[in-house]
């Protein structure tokens, strides 16, 4: 059987939770959503958690709640999935890019500061692969007038010395994804955490067509049925079925993250002697890496990485590449005129990066098979 780079871990209690939701009175917009939100907020030590139909929808909502629009700029990491930047474009803002720190593969306060312009209104630092980005330092670098939205899609279960990623001590919002390759899954789904009740309300309205039902916030109240659309929102709701699965998975978060860290430690033992490979940066003391991905970088560059990728796939080891610099996508070149050379560290990283299989169900034998193949092909 092929070994994927990531996959979900679904157990009997997860299935039972979904079956219970199927047999309940609610399939969507019911109590399972609120229960998942409350459990997730508690796990992140944040006052508010608002569920969405995907991580991308959550990012779009965060850009909206941040008040971004035409004439504004949103700065994010060059090395991320395109949604981290697309969310700015969705609301009419221009996505711009900060280079990565080659020692962490995350943006730093310095790289973000260099990318700022007079039009920057929002910064989206990405906790790439699950390693916490230096959000506290970024806040100090950008000041209090710029909205910070943490892209924590890779980082549920990660910690800093101040607590869990998602607590939003130095950011207005943090965004999570529950795609099946993430640490926990709801099939598709996302979440935004925040400490600001006004932002939380804007997020809730945005995911439900911009509608309001609270009588205290309506222009008029004609009866219990009455609701009003105050903004142009979307149908970005998460269902009760997905929420039941997500809440069941959330109860296993510590076990899943612990196992991912064990796999990362073992990869370091198995691959640490190969001089052609740079291994994923580890978390500093007092921090915890979530290891959504375990990335290696081939120092031989693009041709060597391609040989390694093709050789692993020929052996049924389905390694993946995360990511090409976002501005190198054709749409970004056509829409904004971005060209190669914008972020040299990101481009150097991309030339050699490869994500190895890393998920809780990966067995020791499978991991040793992966490592032996990497060493033979590197």
Where do the structural domains in the chain lie, given as residue ranges? 3-250, 253-377
Q: What is 253-377's CATH topology?
A: 3.90.1150
pLDDT in tens, 318-335: 999 999 999 999 999 999
Residue 230: the pLDDT is 87
Question: If residue 175 lies in a helix (H) or strand (E), which one and from where to where?
Answer: strand 173-177
pTM for the predicted model, two decimal places: 0.97
HSE-CB for 131 with a 13 A CA cutoff? 22
Q: Which residues, 6+ apart, have CB-to-CB distance to 242 below 8 Å?
A: 178, 186, 187, 188, 189
pLDDT of 225 > 80? The answer is no
Residue 220: the pLDDT is 84
HSE-CB for 82 with a 13 A CA cutoff? 11
Torsion 310-311-314-319 (CA) sign: negative
Q: Which residue has the tokens 């370091």?
A: 268
Name the pLDDT band for 218 (thresholds 50, 70, 90).
confident
DSSP 194-253: ES-HHHHHHHHHHTBTTEE--GGGSS---STT--EE-S---B-PPBHHHHHHHHHHHTTH
Average pLDDT, the chain: 97
Annotate 196-215 with b (16+ C-beta within 10 A) or e (fewer): eeebbbbbbbbbbebebeee
Cβ burial of 170 (10 Å; 0-12, 13-18, 19+) is middle
pLDDT in tens, 150-207: 999 999 999 999 999 999 999 999 999 999 999 999 999 999 999 999 999 999 999 9
Strands 120-124 and 73-77: parallel
Across 43-65, average pLDDT:
98
Across 280-305, average pLDDT:
97
Percent of the chain residues past pLDDT 70, beyond the cut:
100
Q: What is 3-250's CATH topology?
A: 3.40.640
């Amino acid at each position: 059987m092929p070994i994927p780079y990531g996959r979900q871990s679904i157990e009997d209690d997860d299935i039972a939770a979904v079956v219970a939701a199927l047999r309940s009175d609610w399939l969507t917009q019911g109590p399972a959503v609120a229960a998942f939100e409350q459990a997730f907020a508690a796990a992140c030590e944040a006052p508010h958690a608002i569920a969405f139909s995907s991580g991308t929808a959550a990012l779009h909502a965060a850009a909206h709640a941040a008040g971004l629009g035409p004439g504004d700029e949103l700065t994010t990491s060059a090395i991320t999935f395109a949604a981290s930047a697309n969310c700015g474009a969705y609301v009419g803002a221009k996505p711009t890019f900060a280079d990565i720190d080659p020692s962490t593969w995350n943006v730093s306060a310095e790289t973000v500061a260099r990318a700022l312009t007079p039009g920057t209104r929002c910064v989206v630092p990405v906790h790439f692969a699950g390693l916490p980005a230096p959000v506290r330092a970024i806040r100090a670098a950008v000041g209090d007038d710029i909205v910070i939205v943490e892209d924590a899609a890779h980082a549920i279960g990660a910690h800093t010395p101040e607590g869990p990623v998602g607590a939003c001590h130095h950011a207005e919002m943090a965004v999570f994804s529950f795609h099946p390759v993430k640490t926990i899954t709801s099939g598709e789904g996302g979440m935004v955490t925040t400490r600001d009740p006004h932002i939380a309300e804007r997020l809730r309205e945005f995911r439900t067509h911009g509608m309001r039902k609270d009588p205290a916030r309506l222009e008029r109240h004609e009866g219990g049925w009455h609701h009003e659309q105050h903004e142009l929102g979307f149908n970005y709701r998460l269902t009760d079925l997905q929420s039941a699965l997500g809440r069941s998975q959330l109860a296993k978060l510590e076990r899943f993250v612990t196992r991912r860290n064990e796999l990362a430690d073992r990869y370091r033992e198995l691959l640490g002697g190969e001089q052609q490979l740079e291994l994923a940066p580890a978390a500093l003391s007092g921090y915890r890496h979530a290891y959504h991905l375990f990335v290696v970088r081939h120092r031989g560059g693009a041709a060597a990485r391609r040989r390694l990728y093709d050789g692993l796939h020929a052996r049924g080891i389905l390694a993946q590449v995360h990511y090409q610099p976002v501005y190198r996508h054709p749409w970004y070149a056509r829409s904004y005129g971005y060209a190669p050379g914008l972020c040299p560290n990101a481009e150097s990283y991309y030339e050699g990066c490869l994500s190895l299989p890393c998920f809780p169900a990966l067995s020791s034998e499978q991991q040793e098979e992966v490592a032996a193949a990497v060493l033979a092909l590197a």
